[in-house]
């Protein structure tokens, strides 16, 4: 049955099938595993979480993986494990979701923004280097839209100033940089399994590391600071006692989430291939239009293909980004904006004295970027609808 689509830009209500922005690719195996988890009687952190951690660590090639309830939690724990605290600074990009900067604030440290590279839209290593000070404790690049950042540059930079590199890999679970899988390219790599992500558990996240001591710290800190979780306490023959060794957080993942993640992980590469095929269709279809398309990646790099973002320059396209978004919505095409640069939001302006004009490349992208629907769950007909709608609006 067709959905009733309400056009918020007019008083009309039309009936048309809506093309969702990023529908999750969920199959019968995920559903069956969730049902089995419910029937098992063990819903929270337990055997499926541990199984998912081992499988994910093996997939990226990392020695340790800690499952948590969000990428936000993964970033926060990574900062704490790096010793970031009040008075420290963390260099990062303004073109990111607010969680990237908010977790820095939660530690008492200050997020220091540096501009982005106009080709990759990732944190510019030269700009980041210029932002370093004696108070810099961590560098936090974001693999924007699934394109790996220049991890080698940030590794060298961090080694030179005694800082940690913490990757926000929320968009980049399949990414490879210079032949190395994201998840093995920094001291900490943080992934998101939110509903729109390439691998989804509804809500959830993971942090990978080669630091066993840090992994142990994050595992304990993610569950109230208790040295033994419920699964460890209530298995046959185990002691029910535990010690609280720190004032921890409620950041743990549930077995229900891990049940979905286990099967999502097994099909991750196949679904990446499907998104790559859609990406290529978009490239071919939009090449003749007055839009700036995503730049190609270098050899040895694998783009995770999370967001297909176009830049809409009104002077070139004859239409603004916001008007294009509204007219696509009129045609039942859902889109999104990634992202409004953080230093343009009132909180960061008021708290840190930021203003427009400080990071011009990020501002230009912020003002013109539009993310088109992209998901392995899209059918050929929905892909064609997106293509036809974009051509129709820009014709």
| 313 burial type by CB count under 10 A (0-12 exposed, 13-18 middle, 19+ buried) | middle
Check residue 233 and give its pLDDT.
63
Check residue 238 and give its pLDDT.
73
Residue 83, number of CB atoms within 10 A of its CB:
11
Q: Give the per-residue SS3 of 353-383.
A: CCCCCCCHHHHHHHHHEEEECCCCCCCHHHH
Task: Map residue 27 onto helix, strand or coil.
Answer: coil
CATH of domain 268-394: 3.90.1150.10
Q: Which of 247, 241, 239, 187 minimizes the C-alpha distance to 213? A: 187
Q: What is the pTM of this model?
A: 0.94
Q: Which two tokens stand for residue 57?
A: 């660590």
Q: Where are the beta strands (DSSP E) in the chain?
A: 4-6, 13-15, 64-68, 89-92, 110-113, 136-140, 164-168, 176-177, 180-181, 188-192, 205-209, 308-311, 369-372
More confident residue, 83 or 2: 83
Check residue 378 and give its pLDDT.
98
Q: Is residue 305 a contact partner of residue 275, using CB atoms and an 8 Å limit?
A: yes
Residue 12, number of CB atoms within 10 A of its CB:
9
Q: Is residue 389 a contact partner of residue 328, using CB atoms and an 8 Å limit?
A: yes
Q: Is residue 225 a contact partner of residue 245, using CB atoms and an 8 Å limit?
A: yes
CATH number, domain 28-266, options 1.10.490.10, 3.40.640.10, 3.30.390.10, 3.40.50.720: 3.40.640.10
Give the least confident one: 1-10, 114-123, 299-308, 321-330.
Answer: 1-10
Angle, alpha carbons 217-114-158 (nearest 5°): 45
Check residue 5 and give its pLDDT.
33
Q: Which two tokens stand for residue 162?
A: 């005694």
Instruction: Name residues whose C-beta falls within 8 Å of residue 349's C-beta, 6 or more positions apart in sequence.
Output: 343, 355
Cα 300 → chain centroid: 21
Distance CA 268, CA 275 (A): 11
The 10s digit of each residue's pLDDT in 91-105 is: 999 999 999 999 999
Angle, alpha carbons 344-133-82 (nearest 5°): 90
Q: Which of 164, 171, 115 minimizes the C-alpha distance to 143? A: 171
Q: Give the per-residue SS3 of 82-100.
A: CCCCCCCEEEECCCCCHHH
DSSP letter assigned to residue 300: T
Residues designated as active site: 197
Check residue 199 and give its pLDDT.
98
> What is the residue extent of each domain of the chain?
28-266, 268-394
Distance CA 306, CA 270 (A): 14
The 10s digit of each residue's pLDDT in 273-295 is: 999 999 999 999 999 999 999 99
The residue whose two tokens read 């290593």 is 125
Q: Is residue 89 a contact partner of residue 96, using CB atoms and an 8 Å limit?
A: no
Task: Map residue 280 onto helix, strand or coil.
Answer: helix
Distance CA 79, CA 91 (A): 12
Output the average pLDDT for the chain: 94
Asked if the model's pLDDT at residue 323 lies above 80, the reply is yes
């Amino acid at each position: 049955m067709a959905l009733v689509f309400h056009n918020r830009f007019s008083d009309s209500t039309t009936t048309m099938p809506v093309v969702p922005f990023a529908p999750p690719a969920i199959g019968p195996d995920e559903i069956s595993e969730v049902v089995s988890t419910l029937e098992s009687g063990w819903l929270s952190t337990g055997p499926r979480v541990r199984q998912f951690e081992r499988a994910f660590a093996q997939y990226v090639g990392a020695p340790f993986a800690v499952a948590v309830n969000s990428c936000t939690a993964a970033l926060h724990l990574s900062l704490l494990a790096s010793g970031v605290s009040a008075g420290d600074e963390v260099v990062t990009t303004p073109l990111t979701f607010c969680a990237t900067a908010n977790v820095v604030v939660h530690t008492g440290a200050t997020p220091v923004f540096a501009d982005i590279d106009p080709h990759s839209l990732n944190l510019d290593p030269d700009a980041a280097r210029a932002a370093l000070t004696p108070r810099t404790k961590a560098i936090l690049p974001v693999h924007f839209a699934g394109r790996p950042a220049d991890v080698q540059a940030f590794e060298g930079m961090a080694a030179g100033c005694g800082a940690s590199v913490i990757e926000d890999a929320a968009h980049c679970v399949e990414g490879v940089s210079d032949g190395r899988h994201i998840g093995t390219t920094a001291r900490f790599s943080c992934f998101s399994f939110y509903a729109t992500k390439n691998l989804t558990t509804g809500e959830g996240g993971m942090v990978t590391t080669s630091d066993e001591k840090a992994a142990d710290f994050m595992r304990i800190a993610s569950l109230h600071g208790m040295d033994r979780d419920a699964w460890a306490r209530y298995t046959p023959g185990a002691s029910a006692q535990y010690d609280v060794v720190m004032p921890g957080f409620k950041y743990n993942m549930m077995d229900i989430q891990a049940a979905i993640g286990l099967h999502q992980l097994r099909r991750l590469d196949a679904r990446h291939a499907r998104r790559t095929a859609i990406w290529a269709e978009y490239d071919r279809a939009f090449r003749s239009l007055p839009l700036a398309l995503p730049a190609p990646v270098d050899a040895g790099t694998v783009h995770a293909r999370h967001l297909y973002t176009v830049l809409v320059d009104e002077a070139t396209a004859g239409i603004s980004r916001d008007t294009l978004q509204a007219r696509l919505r009129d045609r039942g095409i859902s889109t999104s904006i990634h992202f409004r640069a953080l230093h343009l939001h009132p909180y960061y302006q008021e708290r840190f004295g930021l203003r427009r004009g400080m990071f011009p490349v990020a501002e230009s992208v912020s003002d013109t970027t539009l993310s088109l629907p992209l998901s392995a769950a899209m059918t050929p007909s929905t892909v064609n609808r997106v293509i036809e709608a974009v051509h129709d609006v820009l014709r």
